Amino acid sequence: MRVLVTGATGCVGANVVEALLARGYEVRVLQRATSHLDALDGLLPELGSAGDLVVGDVTDYPSLQEAMGGCTWVIHAAAISQYWRSCPDLIYHINVTGTRNVLRAAQESGVRRVVVTSSVAALGIPTHMGQLLSETDSFNLHPDQFHYGHSKVLVEAEVARFVAAGLDVVVVNPASVIGQRDINFVGGEILRLIQKGQLLFAPPGGMGVVSAKAVGIGHVLAAERGKSGERYILNGENISHRALMAIVAEVTGATPPLWVMPSQVLRAAVPLVRFWNRWSPVSISLDAAQVDLSTRFMYFNGEKAARVLGFPQSMEQTSARAAVEEAWSWYRTYGLI
130-177: pLDDT as tens digits: 999 999 999 999 998 899 999 999 999 999 999 999 999 999 999 999
> Taken in order 102, 103, 106, 108, is the CA torsion positive or negative?
negative
**What's the total number of domains in the chain?**
1
Beta strands in the chain (DSSP E): 2-6, 26-31, 53-55, 73-76, 113-117, 169-174, 176-178, 201-202, 206-211, 231-234, 237-240, 259-260, 297-298
219-259: pLDDT as tens digits: 999 999 999 999 999 999 999 999 999 999 999 999 998 88
Task: Give pLDDT, residue 35.
Answer: 87
The answer to whether the beta carbons of residues 210 and 180 sit under 8 Å apart is: no
Domain that holds residue 178: 2-333
Using pLDDT thresholds of 50, 70 and 90, give the confidence band for residue 95: very high
Average pLDDT, the chain: 92
User: Higher pLDDT residue, 321 or 294?
Assistant: 321
pTM: 0.93
Residue 47's nearest CA partner among 10, 76, 18 is 18
Task: Give pLDDT, residue 118.
Answer: 98
Give me the CATH number covering residue 127. 3.40.50.720
Query: Which range is least confidently modeled, 45-49, 96-100, 226-230, 322-326?
Result: 45-49
Task: Give pLDDT, residue 50.
Answer: 52
Asked whether residue 282 carries a pLDDT value surpassing 60, the answer given is no
Asked whether residue 125 carries a pLDDT value surpassing 90, the answer given is yes
Task: Give pLDDT, residue 284.
Answer: 57
Q: What's the CA gap between 10 and 58, in Å, rounded?
A: 14
Asked whether residue 285 carries a pLDDT value surpassing 70, the answer given is no
Task: Give pLDDT, residue 48.
Answer: 66
Q: What is the CA angle 44-48-49, rounded to 5? A: 110
Average pLDDT over residues 50-54: 76
- Would you tell me how many other CB atoms lie within 10 Å of the CB of residue 138? 9
Using pLDDT thresholds of 50, 70 and 90, give the confidence band for residue 84: low
Residue 22 CA from chain centroid, whole number: 21
Average pLDDT over residues 21-36: 93
The pair phi, psi for residue 49, each rounded to 5°, is -75, 165
Asked whether residue 60 carries a pLDDT value surpassing 90, the answer given is yes
Name the residue type at position 100.
R
Task: Give pLDDT, residue 235.
Answer: 97
Asked whether residue 57 carries a pLDDT value surpassing 90, the answer given is yes
202 DSSP β-pair partners: 260
Using pLDDT thresholds of 50, 70 and 90, give the confidence band for residue 49: low
Using pLDDT thresholds of 50, 70 and 90, give the confidence band for residue 281: low
Asked whether residue 56 carries a pLDDT value surpassing 80, the answer given is yes
